[in-house]
């Protein structure tokens, strides 16, 4: 059983200010001494990173496609342990689902699974009394949903605010905050930087979070929101645990696994490092853009799907690290690369030399490939046994030629085989959430120990 005060912030659609409000709410309450935790519905690494920066603890993702609906509550309880408030930032509109399965994967479905009140964030710049009809429709659409109130953004004037409040009062919907135009400034670093400003602790990211916290503190009724969050019932789940079957024991020190990232976290989901440690690894961060060598004693490397594609030139310029990564792969040690990590392992990317682990060439192009894939492992690796079915997420503009090696990583309906498995390398643009299969960590740590001569052969 888990008792955590909680709120889900959502909106009628994208673009209403939910992201900035969620970050600002966490920052404002953290500044008041409340222990807060932030979550993002869906696979987005970037939003989760900024929620984590605002909360002062890792931001986490709740994606039913990636981890399964039955793990949402336990993962939430794990990430929110000890918090005085957990804020869950929705994705798209409240009832939207890219896959067409809103009953299981929408923000509304997550809110229902968590027994959490929802606060609807509504941009009312071009709206008057019709706000009542819109909010009433969202409240009535699903009788299981608990719509606790609204926060209004882009309010034009005191007269406009009065009109909106009276309309919402007529349908008995509380208003927890009113933000005038320009009171929620677009201060976050450009999206193309991805999670990098957070991982590095850049001053721009820290200032942006602080400004959003100040904006929310001056416009949102924090105590009333806390009271709503505290009215959420006990969640009848046990927290997820990263404890997995430990890697096969050996006589030496725990194998060291380098996890691509920086001081503020990694390019992987937060649970990846926890699972690796639980499996018996020593986990050390390595920054692919700045560190010129792998940590001393590295026996495996993991590059998560959060690595931004916009830093191809910087990855290429770090020649010493490229050589070290190629040597790690050549010796057969485990190397798992997702997303842009696959392109980093290629021979070149947009004409710039990369690590040269894979005989392939990356090319950036216009347009973005985005979406979940139900994939089948084509080749056995530390990630999956051949024939295993997983659900992953792709978000990339660059493509690799060839798309797959002699031993592909994955295949799925409607697409040619994808990715590369070679010696200890598993590289693909498909990103996985390891909480869906904690045994990945055990297999990787076992393989790292074997490569080091620590564990028994398999």
Q: Are residue 197 and residue 272 in the same domain, yes or no?
A: no
pLDDT reported for residue 451: 57
Sheet (strand 348-349) strand order: 352-353, 348-349, 361-363, 399-401
Q: What is the pLDDT of residue 248?
A: 66
What is the token pair recorded at 147?
């719509």
| Structure confidence at residue 347 (pLDDT) | 98
Separation of alpha carbons 322 and 286, rounded Å: 12
* Range with the poorest average pLDDT among 151-165, 234-248, 264-278, 379-393: 234-248
Residue 453 has a pLDDT of: 43
- The residues that bridge with 221 in the sheet, in sequence order, are none
Q: Do 210 and 83 share a structural domain?
A: yes
Residues 6 or more apart from 346 whose CB is under 8 A from it? 354, 355, 356, 357, 358, 360, 361, 362, 400
* pTM, two decimal places: 0.96
User: Residues 59, 48: contact at Cβ < 8 Å?
Assistant: yes
Mean per-residue pLDDT for 237-262? 84
Question: Considering the domain boundaries, does residue 240 fall inside one?
Answer: no
User: Does residue 249 fall inside a structural domain?
Assistant: no
DSSP string covering 258-289: EEEEETTEESS-HHHHHHHHHTT-EEEEE-TT
Find out whether 427 and 408 touch, Cβ atoms under 8 Å. Answer: no
Share of the chain above pLDDT 90, in %: 92
DSSP label of 98: T
d(CA 375, CA 386): 11
User: 86-116 pLDDT, tens per residue?
Assistant: 999 999 999 999 877 888 899 999 999 999 9
* Inside any domain, residue 431: yes
Residue 327 lies in a domain: yes
Flag whether pLDDT at 268 surpasses 60: yes
The DSSP bridge pattern shows strands 415-418 and 352-353 to be unpaired
Q: How confident is the model at residue 454 (pLDDT cuts 50, 70, 90)?
A: very low
Asked whether residue 280 falls in the same domain as residue 373, the answer is yes
Portion of the chain with pLDDT greater than 70, in percent: 96
Structural domain includes residue 394: yes
And the tokens for 305? 């799907």
Q: What does the angle CA 22 – CA 286 – CA 380 come to, to the nearest 5 degrees?
A: 95
Residue 422 included in any domain: yes
pLDDT at 99: 78
Task: Please tell me the predicted confidence (pLDDT) of residue 455.
Answer: 35
Domain total of the chain: 2
Is the same domain home to 224 and 291? no
Q: What is the dihedral of CA 448, 454, 456, 458, to 10 degrees?
A: 10
- Residue-wise DSSP of 180-210: ETTSS---SPPGGGTTHHHHHT-HHHHHHHH
Residues 185 and 289 in one domain: no
413 and 331 housed in the same domain = yes
| The pLDDT value given to residue 94 | 98
**Inter-helix orientation angle 270-278/439-452, to 10°:** 60
Task: Count CB neighbours of 368 within 10 A.
Answer: 12
271 pLDDT above the threshold of 90:
yes
How far apart (Å, rounded) are the C-alpha atoms in residues 297 and 392? 31
In a domain, 251, yes or no: no
- Token pair for 210: 């602080």
For 395, the token pair is 């978000």
Residues 126 and 267 reside in one and the same domain: no
Confidence class for position 428, pLDDT limits 50, 70, 90: very high
Q: Write down which residue in 230, 264, 293 finishes a domain.
A: 230
Please check whether residue 456 is in contact with residue 250, taking contact to mean a CB–CB distance below 8 angstroms: yes
Q: Is 298 helix (H, G, I), strand (E, B) or coil?
A: strand
Question: Which of 230, 264, 287 delimits the end of a domain?
Answer: 230
Average pLDDT of the residues in 437-458: 74
CATH code: domain of residue 443: 3.40.50.880
User: Is residue 250 predicted with pLDDT exceeding 70?
Assistant: no
User: Which pLDDT band holds residue 245 (cuts at 50, 70, 90)?
Assistant: low
Task: Please give the Cα distance from 179 to 293 (Å, whole number).
Answer: 48
For residue 26, what is the domain's CATH number?
Answer: 3.40.50.300
Residues 62 and 210 in one domain: yes
What is the residue-wise DSSP string for 371-390?
EEEEEEESS--SS--TT-EE
Give the least confident one: 23-27, 293-297, 408-412, 451-455: 451-455
Query: 33 lies in a domain?
Result: yes
Residue 224 shares a structural domain with residue 262: no
Which is nearest to 403 in space by CA: 370, 353, 358? 358
Distances (CA, A) of 65 to 72, 206, 224, 227, 347: 10, 31, 33, 32, 33
Question: Side-chain half-sphere of 330: how many Cα atoms within 13 Å?
Answer: 9
Residue 299's SS3 state is strand
* Whole-angstrom distance, CA of residue 443 vs CA of residue 449: 10
- Shared-domain flag, residues 273 and 348: yes
* Residue 86 phi, psi dihedral angles, 5° rounding: -115, 130
Q: How far apart are CA 187 and CA 400, in angstroms?
A: 34
Do 194 and 311 fall into the same domain? no
pLDDT-derived band of residue 458, with 50, 70 and 90 as boundaries?
A: very low
The predicted pLDDT at position 103 comes to 84
In contact, 37 and 112? CB cutoff 8 Å: no
Regarding whether 175 and 263 lie in a shared domain, the answer is no
pLDDT tens digits, residue range 171-223?
999 999 999 998 998 999 999 999 999 999 999 999 999 999 999 999 999 99
Structural domain of residue 109, as residue ranges? Answer: 6-230
């Amino acid at each position: 059983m888990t008792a955590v005060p909680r709120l889900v912030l959502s909106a009628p659609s994208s673009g209403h200010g939910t992201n900035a409000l969620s970050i600002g709410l966490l920052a404002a309450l953290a500044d008041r001494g409340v222990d807060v935790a932030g979550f993002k519905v869906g696979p987005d690494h970037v939003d989760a990173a900024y929620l984590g920066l605002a909360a002062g603890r890792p931001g986490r993702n709740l994606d039913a496609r990636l981890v399964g609906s039955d793990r949402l509550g336990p993962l939430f309880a794990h990430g929110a342990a000890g918090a005085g408030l957990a804020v869950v930032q929705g994705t798209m509109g409240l009832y939207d689902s890219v896959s067409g399965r809103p009953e299981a994967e929408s923000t509304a479905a997550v809110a229902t699974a968590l027994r959490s009140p929802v606060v609807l964030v509504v941009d009312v710049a071009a709206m008057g009394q019709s706000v009542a009809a819109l909010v009433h429709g969202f409240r009535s659409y699903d009788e299981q949903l608990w719509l606790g109130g609204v926060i209004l953004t882009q309010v034009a004037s005191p007269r406009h605010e009065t009109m909106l409040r009276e309309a919402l009062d007529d349908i008995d919907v509380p208003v927890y905050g009113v933000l005038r135009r320009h009171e929620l400034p677009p201060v976050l670093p450009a999206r193309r930087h991805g999670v990098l400003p957070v991982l590095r602790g850049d001053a721009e990211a820290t200032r942006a979070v602080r400004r959003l916290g100040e904006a929310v503190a001056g416009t949102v009724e924090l105590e009333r929101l806390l009271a709503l969050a505290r009215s959420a019932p006990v969640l009848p789940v046990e927290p997820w645990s990263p404890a997995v079957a430990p890697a096969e024991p050996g006589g030496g020190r725990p194998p060291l696994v380098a996890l691509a990232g920086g001081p503020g976290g990694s390019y992987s989901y937060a649970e990846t490092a926890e699972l690796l440690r639980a499996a018996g690894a020593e986990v050390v961060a390595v920054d692919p853009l700045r560190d010129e060598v792998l940590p001393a004693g590295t026996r495996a490397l993991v590059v998560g799907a959060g690595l931004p594609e916009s830093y191809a030139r910087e990855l290429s310029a770090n020649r010493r690290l490229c050589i070290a990564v190629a040597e790690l792969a050549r010796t057969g040690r485990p190397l798992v690369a997702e997303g842009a990590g696959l392109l980093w392992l290629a021979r070149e990317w947009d004409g710039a030399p990369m690590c040269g682990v894979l005989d392939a060439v990356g090319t950036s192009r216009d347009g973005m490939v985005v979406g979940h894939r139900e994939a089948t492992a084509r080749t056995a690796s530390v990630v999956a046994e051949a024939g295993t079915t997983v659900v992953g997420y792709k978000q990339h503009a660059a493509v690799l030629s060839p798309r797959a090696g002699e031993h592909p990583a994955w295949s799925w309906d409607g697409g040619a085989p994808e990715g590369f498995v070679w010696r200890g390398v598993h590289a693909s643009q498909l990103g996985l959430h390891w909480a869906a299969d904690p045994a990945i960590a055990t297999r990787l740590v076992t393989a790292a120990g074997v490569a080091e001569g620590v564990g028994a052969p398999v």
